[in-house]
A = this chain, B = another copy of it.
Amino acid sequence: MQPDAALIPFPGPGPGWTPGIDGLVDCLLGDRPPRVWSLLVTIFGDLARDGSARLGGQLINRLTDRMRLKPEAVRVALHRLRKDSWIESERAGRQSLYRLTPSGRTQSRAASPLIYARTAPAELAWLVLADRTEMPEGAASGIVWILPHAGLTTYPPRDPGHLHLPLPADTHVPGWIRTRVCDENLVRMAHEFEARLVRLDDLCGSRPRFGPIETAMLRVLLVHGWRRIALKAPTLPDHVFPETWRGGSCRSRVTALLDRLPRPHPDDLVADITA
């Protein structure tokens, strides 16, 4: 399946036009605003993952406002994240400064390898054949069960009661196995996200530079869009996914775009607001 750029409404009036940041944000956002709580997790995870990094309420509002989130909803979500011990806050003059708690930081870092990886999270696949129906225990063991007694995993043999056979990349994997590895909803999400990335790449090409806040907005939306897919996809090599799976293309497009949009320093973000 080729990325279908026609899926995404073109945000500008025609060729030769230089898109504003709103057009780029719209391109990544699509029709629906993101969930506030989840987007804040992405903001802290991408922009403030270091122990000392703090994000002011003003900066958070500036970022979320452009993403069509209401200030009240953001306030409620920040309160909830504090109650869940994901973030903590302190007063600094007229505004609050927020940062990840050690626990929030640990969980953000745990998800990072899957989100920021430049390569597929798995290269090898093994077929596992079990005598008993092992589904309940399966999730914890990293096995994606495709039949009551059979599953796929990227991890090497552990249980001597299982038959483990490697699945080389040139194995003919029938469609019914591929669709059980990854459901069609996730396949469609990746397909649509790829189309946004293609369009964004085009639009960014005519915008050579971005300010710190613009950069932060684009990074957050890129990471947020990809995170929803990358964390749901099973840890298996692309060659066992459905033929129409575009996750690999999304991954390389996201990392290439993030390379063009280096993470701004929190101080530069503050300076950009007050400028």
Write the nearest CB–CB distance from A214 to chain B, whole angstroms. 48
Assess the B162–A174 pair: CB atoms within 8 A.
yes
Identify A161's interface contact among B165, B167, B176, CB under 8 A.
Answer: B176
A:34-71 near B, CB below 8 Å: none
Assess the B131–A160 pair: CB atoms within 8 A.
no
Interface residues on A, range: 20 to 34
Q: How many copies does the complex hold?
A: 2
Assess the B157–A163 pair: CB atoms within 8 A.
no
Identify A163's interface contact among B160, B163, B164, B171, CB under 8 A.
Answer: B171
A131-B176, A163-B171, A164-B172 known; 6 other A-B pairs, CB under 8 Å? A127-B163, A131-B147, A149-B149, A149-B150, A161-B174, A161-B176
Sample (14) of A-B pairs whose CB atoms are under 8 Å apart: A129-B147, A131-B147, A148-B148, A149-B149, A150-B150, A160-B172, A161-B174, A163-B172, A163-B173, A163-B174, A164-B172, A165-B165, A165-B167, A165-B171
